[in-house]
Amino acid sequence: MALDTPYRAIFCDLITDQTLDILPLRDVSFDDYIGKAGSLSGTIPIPNKDIADRVKKVREGRTSVYLERGGDLWWGGIVWTTTLQSSGRGVLTLGIQAATFDSYASRRRIRTDITFTTPTDQLEIARRLWKELDRQDDPTVPLPDGKQPRRLGITYGTEASEVLRTASWRKGDETVYLEALDQLAALQNGFEHQVLVYRDPTDGKRVRQLRLGWPKIVNGATDLLFDRPGVILSYSFPYDATRGGTTALARGASTNSNAGTESRPIVSTEQVASDLLADGWPLIDLSSDHNEVTDTLTLDSLAKRELAEAQGAVVIPAISIHLGGIVPPALIGRVARIRITDEWYSQGLDARYRIIGVKVTPPERGRPDTAELYLEEA
């Protein structure tokens, strides 16, 4: 990251969150989303031995990195990959690839029986899954004397929904925690989840918090306003009928226990968007696989949710904006009011969208500080 950048790259021990160093990071881009892990890539220049000794503290799988802008944390996650590289002229760099703390759930597998036989709020089930995956003081995993349990230190809120569910996962199935969370969230009338980072306003400490939203994650009390002409540099509205459909079917696990016959999965009832067919749409089929689901009611719920989110043509609008003092760090979940006047929108577009993804390109070598915001109708 260039010396004149407004961002600082803070490298920390993943478990203790103890700051290891603040290092220059160049050629940076980072993003964050609702529903999937965000990523960061960048390069640390190594001009001499002193810097090399400092950079050696960055260890893949054991180091976290935060990007700070104006005292606010804009991004935080885990360094998963590093690449030491020497050019033909002997210039040394360390390339890093990191992912938001959500990605940790994709590296942990359920290795204990987890059962909710009594109907339980789906957000509480999500919290319990995260607490279980971050509970690493298992007596079967011995720690040296005096060592503290290895935890990411995720904190939790008290969000609640109006949806009660039963759920179970079995030891031995090796279910990835993130897959269990996503499957639960994908049910009809499901929820959204994200791990966000911020500084505690009372003591300034860094916080990693699981944020849950039902039915959506919504952040901020007032709309952000973006205009074109104005702060909006460019925009795109891609309509994609290859990703949408008018029917949906969900396939589950095979229940065939007879080795002598063909194994076939159980399937949901076909869900149909009758309103789109009546409006002139053709039959366009969506299908999804859920190999660990063994009951048709759950599959029906998954198919209904999939069709509801991908009816007809899928559109994920995006705008590119200048970042400035008016743009807050916690953009995910904020509602933006978009106003555009041009040849296409000659009468003017004035619509509200929720920000579901952010990709930031910090300033470097004369390049401005910009962000691409991915949107859905609010």
In the CATH hierarchy, which fold is given to the domain comprising 7-104? Phage tail proteins - horseshoe like beta roll fold (2.30.300)
Asked if pLDDT for residue 267 goes beyond 80, the answer is yes
Asked if pLDDT for residue 260 goes beyond 90, the answer is no
pLDDT at position 83: 98
Which CATH architecture fits 224-238+316-377? Roll (2.30)
- Are 320 and 340 in contact by the 8 Å Cβ rule? The answer is no
- CATH entry, 108-213, from 3.30.700, 3.90.228, 3.55.50, 3.30.1330: 3.55.50
Pairwise CA distance, residues 35 & 182, whole Å: 8
The CA distances from residue 244 to 184, 290, 375, in Å, are 22, 19, 17
Asked if pLDDT for residue 61 goes beyond 70, the answer is yes
pLDDT at position 327: 77
Across-strand partners of 251?
267, 289
- Six-digit token pair at 286? 């969506």
Kindly report, residue by residue over 13-44, the tens digit of the pLDDT. 999 999 999 999 999 999 999 989 999 999 99
- Are 270 and 304 in contact by the 8 Å Cβ rule? The answer is no
Kindly report, residue by residue over 144-178, the tens digit of the pLDDT. 555 555 689 999 999 999 999 999 999 999 999 99
Average pLDDT for the chain: 91
Asked if pLDDT for residue 328 goes beyond 90, the answer is no
pLDDT band at residue 1, thresholds of 50, 70 and 90? very low
pLDDT band at residue 98, thresholds of 50, 70 and 90? very high
Pairwise CA distance, residues 260 & 355, whole Å: 52
Pairwise CA distance, residues 74 & 362, whole Å: 11
- Are 157 and 211 in contact by the 8 Å Cβ rule? The answer is yes
Percent of the chain with pLDDT over 70: 93
> Do 7-104 and 224-238+316-377 have matching folds?
yes
Kindly report, residue by residue over 184-209, the tens digit of the pLDDT. 999 999 999 999 999 999 999 999 99
Kindly report, residue by residue over 336-358, the tens digit of the pLDDT. 999 999 999 999 999 999 999 99
Question: In 229-333, where do the E strands start and end?
Answer: 232-236, 239-240, 247-254, 265-267, 271-272, 285-289, 314-315, 318-322
Segments making up each domain of the chain, as ranges: 7-104, 108-213, 224-238+316-377, 247-312
